[in-house]
Amino acid sequence: MFTVGEFARLGQVSKRLLRYYDEINLFRPDQTDPATGYRYYSAAQMAQLNRILALKELGLSLDQIRRLLADNISVDEMQGMLLLKKAEIERQMQAEMQRIRKIESRLLAVHSAESASPLNVVIKRIPAQPVLSTRTIVESFDAGLEIFRQIRTALPDRSRYGLCYCICHSDDLAEQDMDLELGCLLEMPGHSGLALRGGLHLRLGELPAVASMATIVVQGALETIHTGYAEIGRWAENNHYRLAGVPREVSLQLPTAADGRDLITEIQFPVEPLHRD
């Protein structure tokens, strides 16, 4: 048998915590000396203490823990709860890392604007392009990237297909519930539609020709793509152009890194001179 102090040291908890759990009748000592009132714990109780501590770390309240202990929750059930908690924490960490990358890219855009660095914008004439595409509402840009991957996997003969592209048809750009057109350019004619998972279908269509397309290449995760749009805006103002349509994003390289840092995107924004001859 172990005293409160000894058991606290073995369990790596405080004596105050053991006394509190005893007071609320959550975790009682194995024996109490009636003459002295000293409390003693057995080694077999360590498993129950670890159950309580694990459930507490999973974010459960003491009342919830009490009910689960009364139901004699198994280790397998706790392992399942742990996996759910782990997935939740990983999602939170990913979201926080995305926030950090977005903040970093915003600061980089500020620095670029204040340093008056050269603008890497190129004007192109884009011909009409046959495409296979689908249009759907996606919950996030990451969900859009997953559809890109599905498209590339579903296409039977890679030599017939060009780069993937995305057009956001939402009036107000948001990070959720976006109206996106996703597809790939066709290098060779004569292709029919194709079914994808989730009820989506690739349909044959055409992107119209654009006489003047302001373009810029951006490397980095989706959180950084706004830097390219900002440069196009600065270029248009400096060179007396106005925006004249819906932009396209062409993926020169789809990401393989988990954080998307190796994504390479060409932004294409229709423009026209403010004053035509």
pLDDT tens by residue, 88-139: 888 888 778 777 877 777 777 676 666 666 678 999 999 999 998 889 888 8
Cα–Cα distance, 22 to 124 (Å, whole number): 75
243 pLDDT higher than 70: yes
What are the domain boundaries of the chain?
2-73, 122-273
Longest dimension (CA), the chain: 106
The residue among 198, 149, 143, 200 whose CA lies nearest residue 176 is: 143
Name the CATH topology of 2-73. Answer: Multidrug-efflux Transporter Regulator; Chain: A; Domain 2 (1.10.1660)
pTM of the model: 0.62
What does the pLDDT read at residue 184? Answer: 86
What's the pLDDT tens digit per position in 43-61? Answer: 999 988 988 998 898 888 8
User: What does each C-alpha distance from 29 to 36, 44, 46, 56, 139 come to in angstroms?
Assistant: 14, 11, 11, 19, 51
Residues 6+ apart with CB under 8 A from 6: 41
The order of strands in the sheet holding 39-41 is 2-3, 39-41, 31-32
What does the pLDDT read at residue 156? Answer: 65
What's the pLDDT tens digit per position in 144-193? Answer: 778 877 887 777 665 567 788 999 888 766 667 789 899 888 876 666 67
> Per the structure block, which two tokens stand in for 105?
């890219």
User: What does each C-alpha distance from 174 to 87, 138, 226 come to in angstroms?
Assistant: 25, 11, 13
Listed in sequence order, the DSSP H helices in the chain are: 4-11, 15-23, 46-57, 62-70, 75-114, 141-154, 226-238
Cα–Cα distance, 97 to 106 (Å, whole number): 14
Residues 6+ apart with CB under 8 A from 241: 212, 214, 235, 271, 272, 273, 274
- What percentage of the chain carries pLDDT values higher than 90? 29
What does the pLDDT read at residue 116? Answer: 62
What does the pLDDT read at residue 17? Answer: 93
What's the pLDDT tens digit per position in 33-45? Answer: 888 889 999 999 9
What does the pLDDT read at residue 196? Answer: 78
User: CB of 15 within 8 A of CB of 5?
Assistant: yes
User: CB of 249 within 8 A of CB of 163?
Assistant: no
Q: Is the dihedral of CA 232, 233, 237, 238 positive or negative?
A: negative
What does the pLDDT read at residue 74? Answer: 82
What does the pLDDT read at residue 173? Answer: 63
> Per the structure block, which two tokens stand in for 42?
């057995």
Residues 6+ apart with CB under 8 A from 28: 21, 22
Cα–Cα distance, 175 to 172 (Å, whole number): 10
User: CB of 26 within 8 A of CB of 70?
Assistant: no
Q: Tell whether domain 122-273 is in CATH 3.30.2130.30.
A: no
What does the pLDDT read at residue 118? Answer: 61
Neighbours of 229 (CB within 10 A): 17
What's the pLDDT tens digit per position in 209-238? Answer: 999 999 999 988 877 888 888 889 888 988
